[in-house]
Amino acid sequence: MISVWHYLAVAAVLFSLGLVGFLTRRNLITMFLSAELMLQAVVINLLAFARFHATMSGQVFALFVVTVAACEAGVAMAMFIALYRRNRSLDATVWQQLRETGVPATTDPEKLPTVPGELADDPKLTPAGKKPQEVARV
Amino acid sequence: MNLFAATTAGNAVSQLATGVILGALAFYWLLPRPKGRSVAFGTFAAIASAVVLVSWVVRQFGDPARDTVGQVLFWLFSGGAVLFAAIFVSQRNPARGAIAFAFVIVSVCGLFLLLAAPFLMAATIVIYAGAIIVTFLFVLMLSHTGEMADENDRSREPLLGSLAGFAFLGLVLLAMYQSSPTAVAEAGRPEQKLPARPVTAEERAELLSLATDLQLAAAAKTKDELHERTKDLRDRFADIVGIPPSAPESGERTNAAHSIPDRLAIARDPQAIAIARQAEDLRSAVRQTLNQVENTTLKANPTAADMAAAVKGLANLREKAVLLAGRGELPARNVANIGYSLYTDYLLAVEMAGSILLVATIGAVAIAGRKGAAA
């Protein structure tokens, strides 16, 4: 028998995974998606309570959560464009001059290894077939 | 004719006939012979016949594996959501991360369906499909570097961040455990009221079996049969709706604290109050009807009118039990009820959500729309 507790547990796991992602990742887009993950976890909670109390209110709240998430997505994407125009980077640490006074700056002591030229792990299509032969022009 | 919903006897027969004819056609097409064989048609007909017949069996005789299917789906969706969330968080390439996030959304939508929210499932898929494609475009546009980059290959305080996240998870799960039924039962405290369903599945099953027994009792012909079939009903009802006020054995029972009216006593929402009232109603009906039945069976020679009145009371009682068993489910017409709820109870919130969307649109245009302001 699946009870409300199972759903709450799944939602808690998803929320904390989103929390870890938001705290540790430095790519603005990944941070944004982590926040969305946390919102989804909250929506699962709302729907589980709605189901087990047999009221519609939880589903209506979830609808509003989705609305606010859409607003957030619009504003966040616009901000990413504006920030990228300034610094040519999606790294959140680039903006650390906005941090609180008295907090030491984040530095990256170890250098990243440079991979010459190749895309690191982007999906690629394997080339198929043969190169077409040149047709002799007449 | 609806093939999958046999509600009346005629429909049931025609569905059965459809399944049988489809099966016969299937083997007509499938059996080997020199001319007139068609494997494609045969396979199709065989599958269709199997579907129709299985749905007929399930409709007529009850679902053998309903709980199993629900559990398998739950574990599949929740496992998928957690697995892909982990991949998403730990993936260095943001494009692959976005794809993993899409799978998280799909799994979560499966959970929504299990939670009886089909409208939200569809809305979430539509919204997030768009959102994820936009995210994907952004990643390809802004962050598509070949080399390793600061934003993808470094994490901010990986150890402290993961510790914080999982400490949070542990605290939440611990808090849930402390108020969960098992822990509460071990500690001997009174049961928590909040996360209990108004009518639990066990109570529903017990109410339905009581209804069956009442139907049997109402079919009793003689006084002795009636007495035999109604003698333990009072105790079984008392387990669910509490003790009837003037029951003779009221002093002996101690577990009545878990009955529906007591569990819902502090609830404020109208539906819980309605259920509590219905349970109360059922409780008084149990007392009246069973007293009447007892009076009838205690008489040396009950008249036909007495017997008829007792039987009628039992039938009424059965209807009340069935009605109460049906409470505690979400309405079947999900979209209609969400719409009704939105435009009656939450109209102000709808207007405010509209304003927020408008402001967000204006804000997005204002933030991103400056041409050549890259300085």
Q: Tell me the C-alpha distance between A10 and B114, whole Å.
A: 13
Q: Closest chain A residue to B120 measured between Cα atoms?
A: A63
Report whether pLDDT(B122) > 80.
Answer: yes
Chain A: closest CA distance from residue B131 (Å):
8
Mean pLDDT of B221-229: 78
Mean pLDDT of A79-84: 88
- b/e map B140-157, b = 16+ CB within 10 Å: eebbeeeeebbbbebbee
Give residue B327's pLDDT.
53
The pLDDT confidence band at residue B101, using thresholds 50, 70 and 90, is very high
Q: Tell me the C-alpha distance between A108 and A46, whole Å.
A: 41
Mean pLDDT of B30-51: 78
Report whether pLDDT(A50) > 70.
Answer: yes
CB B240 within 8 A of CB B207: yes
Give residue B249's pLDDT.
46
Residues from chain A that touch B334, judged by Cβ atoms under 8 A, are 59
pTM: 0.63
Burial class of residue A47 (count of CB atoms within 10 Å of its CB; 0-12, 13-18, 19+): buried
Contact B148 A7 (CB under 8 A): no
Report whether pLDDT(B189) > 80.
Answer: no
Contact A92 B151 (CB under 8 A): yes
Residues from chain B that touch A103, judged by Cβ atoms under 8 A, are none
Chain B: closest CA distance from residue A49 (Å):
7
- The shortest CB-CB distance from B74 to any of A2, A19, A30 is to A2
Report whether pLDDT(B211) > 50.
Answer: yes
For an interface test with A, the pick among B101, B112, B120, B359 (most A C-beta atoms closer than 10 Å) comes out as B120
Contact A112 B153 (CB under 8 A): yes
Contact A23 B165 (CB under 8 A): yes
Q: Closest chain A residue to B110 measured between Cα atoms?
A: A44
Give residue B145's pLDDT.
63
Q: Choose between B92 and B163: higher pLDDT.
A: B163
Does residue B332 belong to the interface with chain A, where contact is any CB pair within 8 Å?
Answer: no
Residues of chain B numbered 347-366 and touching chain A (CB < 8 Å): 349, 353, 356-357, 359-361, 363-366
The pLDDT confidence band at residue B16, using thresholds 50, 70 and 90, is confident
The pLDDT confidence band at residue B194, using thresholds 50, 70 and 90, is very low
Q: Which of B44-53, B98-107, B224-233 has the lowest mean pLDDT?
A: B224-233
Q: Tell me the C-alpha distance between B352 and B336, whole Å.
A: 21
- B308-358 pLDDT, tens digit per residue, is 888 888 878 877 777 676 555 677 788 998 999 899 989 999 999 999 999
Contact A16 B166 (CB under 8 A): yes
Contact A26 B151 (CB under 8 A): yes
Give residue B354's pLDDT.
94
Residues from chain A that touch B135, judged by Cβ atoms under 8 A, are 29, 32-33, 77
Averaged pLDDT score across all residues of chain A? 84
Q: Closest chain B residue to A19 measured between Cα atoms?
A: B165
Report whether pLDDT(A35) > 90.
Answer: yes
Give residue B251's pLDDT.
44
Give residue B150's pLDDT.
77
Report whether pLDDT(A110) > 50.
Answer: yes
* Domain locations in chain A as residue ranges: 4-91
Percent of chain A with pLDDT over 90: 33
Q: How far is CA A120 from CA B72, B94, B145, B149, in A?
A: 38, 12, 9, 10
Q: Closest chain A residue to B201 measured between Cα atoms?
A: A1
The pLDDT confidence band at residue B360, using thresholds 50, 70 and 90, is very high
Percent of chain B with pLDDT over 70: 74
Mean pLDDT of B139-165: 79
Report whether pLDDT(B234) > 50.
Answer: yes
Q: Which of A72-76, B137-141, B173-177, B309-313 has the lowest mean pLDDT?
A: B137-141
Report whether pLDDT(B184) > 50.
Answer: yes
Residues from chain B that touch A36, judged by Cβ atoms under 8 A, are 101, 128, 131
Contact B135 A32 (CB under 8 A): yes
- b/e map A102-128, b = 16+ CB within 10 Å: eeeeeeeeeeeeeeeeeeeeeeeeeee
Q: Closest chain A residue to B100 measured between Cα atoms?
A: A33
Mean pLDDT of A113-132: 67
Mean pLDDT of B147-153: 76
Report whether pLDDT(B218) > 70.
Answer: yes
Report whether pLDDT(B124) > 90.
Answer: yes
Averaged pLDDT score across all residues of chain B? 77
- Number of CB pairs < 8 Å for A and B? 281
DSSP secondary-structure letter at B155? B
- b/e map B264-279, b = 16+ CB within 10 Å: beebeeebbeebbebb
- A2-25 pLDDT, tens digit per residue, is 677 788 889 999 999 999 999 988
Residues from chain B that touch A64, judged by Cβ atoms under 8 A, are 349, 353
| CATH architecture of structural domain A4-91 | Orthogonal Bundle (1.10)
Establish whether this prediction's ipTM goes over 0.90: no
Percent of chain B with pLDDT over 90: 16
